[in-house]
Structure 1
Amino acid sequence: MSAPLMIVGAADTERLLGYEDCIRLVREAMAALSRGETRQPLRNIVDLNGGNAFGVMPGAMLGGTFGAKIVSVYPGNFALGKHSHQGIVVLFEPEGGAPVAIIDGSIVTAIRTAAASAAATDALARPGPSRLAILGYGEQAWRHAAAVRYVRPITGLTVWGRSVEQAERFALRVREELGLDAEAAPDVASAVRDADIICTTTAAAEPILVLADVKPGTHINVVGSSRAGPAEIANDLVAASRFIADYRPGVLAQGSEFLNAKAAGVVDDAHVVGEIGEVFGGTLAGRSRDDEITIYKSLGHIVQDLAAGWHVFEEAKKLGLGTAAPF
């Protein structure tokens, strides 16, 4: 008889997946991806009515776990106080191929996405104390504010969003819960003017950030758009940057900002200089000069979910958490 299938819900997943651990986990997973030690097809996304989507993302860590994330993406859920990404991460053990765990996919996605941006920031941003600008005030904005402070001393945070009231509430929460000096900005240009690190975490359909707004030497994590279509940054900013993908084939096929710039004729495929895992592994230079603008384009990747999910599964076993279900 197979061992029971463990189900780990949102509260336990949140408890077991700390930012520092997850930053390490995604760094290792992305380095393995770039070394060819994983297997995965491109993500499969089904468009639904109302701008919503359904995604299936399978993959395998060679010699380790394999599985899939199955997730819905409902951007309007934020206004209702719900997760925009809802789903599960299903894990299989490599020895006999049995399913061993179902992990809450909303929390895994939320934490590992921000942790991946933090890891990229550590590799690409200029060292030392930094000002952080966040565009957006949803769940990923909050997670990025929490995660980036683990890799850089943040001297101040500025947030922008379409609702001034929401942005001000976000800044207040940052001050109260993270202890950072934070303020809301009335527009994108003023939000990023003094930033050393920018995280774009919006649902913008058209670019909101242009080259003229960004000072030399800034690092940008472009996170909000996870498929072809919606785009957060303009073609001139893409063209002026050192542009690094989480997964190069994914960005070449589904990275909206890159695809827009390519269609406009201002870049070609060679502009995606490589993957963040190559930077982590030491085979690709990150920042080449102090005044260079660096961009990490995040689509998200299944190996991040597998690494984070397996960590949650192992920790849940140690602590007796989760729910065992017959299978």
Structure 2
Amino acid sequence: MPGTLLLKQSEIKELISMKEVVDSVETAFKAYAQRDVQMPPKEYLFFQEGDLRIMPCYVRSTEEAGVKCVNVHPHNPLEKQLPTVMAVIELVNPETGFPMAVMDGTLVTDLRTGAAAGVATKYLARPDAETLGIIGAGKQACTQLMALNEVMDIKEAKVFCRTCSTRTSFAKKATETYGFKVEAVETAEEAVKNADVVVTTTPSRKPLIKADWISPGTHINAMGADAPSKQELETKLLLKSKIIIDSWEQASHSGEINVPVAQKVLKRKDIHAKLGDVIVGNETGREGDEITIFDSTGLAVQDVVTAGLIYRRAREKGIGTDFDFIS
């Protein structure tokens, strides 16, 4: 019997493409909408400088089960020379509980979060969307652009973050990688004004995007808010838009909507639908020139379905290291 497969980030990079992750995440949203998933909301441990999240999931039809343990420590890059987000995923055999794999979850988190915005954009943006505004220029902005490029015919993108050198470097590298113009701009307003699709990827606790800056017909992927008190979009913007979430339990606690929900300005009846229900056709998506917002908190099913594909691919190709934990 094989042991537990250990997979590091460099090995995972060779095993999966962003297109495949977008497909996996769409499958994950469908499974969640079809009630094929056992998945309690993520649990948090709050530290002085960051937090740790535990995310378990079981997909009944495919017999995939596992848990992701992921941290968010915003001061890491500058103070500790470590990533803001680091994660480990364990896949288990539901029949026996045997640990089938332990793998780096940092790359999986980056990829599947980008892919979630890709899936939302596929279903909620205008079909002719071709301009993109990006707020934030870190690792998550990179995978957002990678995924959006899979579902949009991007002609032009603008990026803003507070550090001039970071946004300039991001724009230069992205232009070289994708072949369309990515321009670093000096304000958030300049980045989002007249954009067909907007993506926000910051840890901000104060709204960065004002309602007046967003044109009718824009689709927004609000990806940064992932803990209580975080908010990137002005509440006025949320109130005038069609809001699609991944999970009410998580979004109301720690997603983009968490602050106005806590303030009782936004209520559950103001949320249009969950993304999975739009994908399977239980709810409508975009209708005309409305502003749509996808509030993404990240679901454990996205991690488990993606990790399952990585595990099968690794076994097929003989990649990774077997380790016997229970000897």
Same fold (TM over 0.5): yes
* One-letter amino acid of the counterpart of residue 30, structure 1: F
Give distance in 1, aligned partners of 2:301 and 2:76: 26
- Whether 2:310 is the aligned partner of 1:312: answer yes
Aligned residue number for residue 236 of structure 1: 236
Unmatched 5+ stretches in structure 1 = none
Equivalence for 2:215: 215
Q: Supply the distance in 1 between the matched residues of 2:298 and 2:180 (Cα, whole angstroms).
A: 27
Residue of structure 2 equivalent to 1:185: 185
1:114-133 correspondence runs (5 A): 114-133=114-133
CA distance in 2, matches of 1:250, 1:262: 12
Query: How far, CA to CA, are the matches of 2:271 and 2:299 in structure 1?
Result: 17
User: Which residue of structure 2 lines up, in the alignment, with residue 11 of structure 1?
Assistant: 10
Aligned to 2:301: 303
Question: What one-letter code is carried by the residue in structure 2 that aligns with 1:57?
Answer: M
CA distance in 1, matches of 2:74, 2:16: 24
Does 1:144 pair with 2:144?
yes
Using structure 1 for the length normalisation, give the TM-score.
0.95
8 Å CA contact 1:239–1:261 kept in 2: the answer is: no
Q: Deviation above 6 Å: which 4+ runs of structure 1?
A: none
Partners of 1:198 and 1:81 in 2: CA distance: 29
CA–CA distance in structure 1, aligned partners of residues 250 and 86 of structure 2: 22
Deviations 1:88-114 (A, max 9, x none): 110012333311001111000000000
SS of the residue 2:150 aligns to: coil
User: Cα deviations across residues 170-208 of structure 1 (Å, max 9, x unaligned)?
Assistant: 100101122221101110111111210000001112110
Note if contact 1:134-1:158 (Cα within 8 Å) is conserved in structure 2: yes
What residue is the counterpart of 1:225 in the other structure? Answer: 225
Contact 2:273 2:283 in 1 (8 A): yes
Alpha-carbon distance in 2 for matches of 1:96, 1:268: 42
Can you list the C-alpha shifts for 1:261-308, whole angstroms capped at 9, x where unaligned? 23445431111122101111111111022x110011010010000001
Superposition pairs of residues 56-205 of structure 1, within 5 angstroms = 56-63=54-61, 64-79=63-78, 82-205=82-205
Structural mapping, 1:267-278, within 5 Å: 267-278=266-277
State the identity %.
Answer: 29
Structure 1 vs Structure 2 CA RMSD: 1.4
AA at the equivalent of 1:183: E
Equivalents in 1 of 2:318, 2:195: separation in Å?
Answer: 43
Q: CA deviation at 1:3?
A: 2.9
Query: Could you tell me which amino acid in structure 2 is paired with residue 180 of structure 1?
Result: F
Aligned to 1:292: 290
**2:44 aligned with 1:45:** yes
Q: Distance in 2 between matches of 1:151 and 1:130?
A: 10
Query: Is the CA contact 2:220–2:293 (under 8 Å) kept in the aligned structure 1?
Result: yes
State the aligned residue count.
323
**Structure 1 241/78 Cα, relative in aligned 2: closer, same or farther at 3 Å?**
farther
Specify every segment of 5 or more residues in structure 2 that has no aligned partner in the other structure, as ranges. Answer: none
Q: Is the 8 A contact 1:78 1:138 kept in 2?
A: no
